[in-house]
Amino acid sequence: MPLLEYRQRSGYLFLVVMVGHMLLISAQVNSRTGVPVLERFTFGVFSEVQRAVSSVVMGVSRAWDGYVALRRTREENDDLKRRLAAAEIQVQEQRALADRAKGLAETLELRKSLSFTTTAAEIVGGDSVPGFRTVTIDKGTGDGLRADMAVVAPAGIVGRVVTPLARSAKVQLLVDRNAAAGALVERTRAQGVVVGDGENRLLMEYVSEVADLIAGDVVVSAGIDGIYPKGFVIGRVESVEKNGPAYRRITIRPAVDFSRLEEVLVVVTPPAPNEGERGRQDAHRAAPVDRVPE
């Protein structure tokens, strides 16, 4: 037993001395990164201790934050939900405002290009009776509006003023069953009359059977009805069908998307006879052919 104890003491002493030597060596040797091995080793061990302590602290902190500190989370959650809903509404309002500004800008651009006086108006209401395609605008006789004044949009012809009041007016859309406009096919100059079908399409009537018409042709106002300036885009030919011995039924897709209409221009001065062609050219700039919906 004493021998064993002696050997054990020697072993412990040997270990202590060897560790001391290793520390001594490590203190003088730099690692590849230039840091002394002892420092690197010490820091490595210490960093592991730090990591362990940090893990414990973070664990306790997370446990505290995740359970104990959640007492007011429900109230905060409800409050945040209310805030989010309000923010979403605000975003929608901003988006609507931006769209409206864009529409106004397009309308203003068209107004600048026209040679005749126009008044910008905003659509404030739609038709109240099914089958009638009318809208209400926020301008009336007080702004110089009269009946049968043309209403246009950047995309093309919208309709005409039918019932002007002091501060508002009813506009009959071109797609209404009772609406009509003199028209011609831009490519072949074939003339006819465009009438509404009460839905979302136009019909071009009284077109000669020999007239050259194909789907895709652009139809513009002819300027012969005394209402619409000449050359404004009405729409594109969608289909051509035979309709009796002398005429054909031609379906036109309107250039204006009436479902998205928000701002319009009312032509308050009728176009002069020599301004028809100019107005047409301006209208082409405002509503170029390639913008007409296919």
Distance CA 104, CA 97 (A): 10
Is 29 or 124 the residue whose CB approaches another protein more closely? 29
35 near another protein, rule: CB under 8 A = no
> Which amino acid is residue 173, in one-letter code?
L
22 near another protein, rule: CB under 8 A = yes
Distance CA 78, CA 115 (A): 57
CA neighbor of 248 nearest in space, from 167, 174, 185: 185
- Figure out which of the listed residues 2, 28, 131, 210 binds another protein, where binding follows CB under 8 A: 28
Is 25 or 272 the residue whose CB approaches another protein more closely? 25
Is 31 or 92 the residue whose CB approaches another protein more closely? 31
Instruction: Specify the stretch interacting with another protein by CB under 8 A; choose among 6-14, 40-48, 131-139, 145-153.
Output: 6-14
CA neighbor of 122 nearest in space, from 100, 102, 98: 100
CA neighbor of 173 nearest in space, from 229, 140, 136, 134: 134
Where do runs of H (alpha helix) occur along the chain?
A: 2-28, 37-66, 73-113, 276-286
The answer to whether 75 touches 231, Cβ cutoff 8 Å, is no
Is 9 or 102 the residue whose CB approaches another protein more closely? 9
- Figure out which of the listed residues 8, 21, 58, 65 binds another protein, where binding follows CB under 8 A: 21
Instruction: Specify the stretch interacting with another protein by CB under 8 A; choose among 19-27, 115-123, 217-225, 248-256.
Output: 19-27
User: Using CB under 8 A as the criterion, which residues of the chain lie in contact with another protein when the complex forms?
Assistant: 6-7, 9-10, 13-14, 17-18, 21-22, 24-25, 28-29, 37
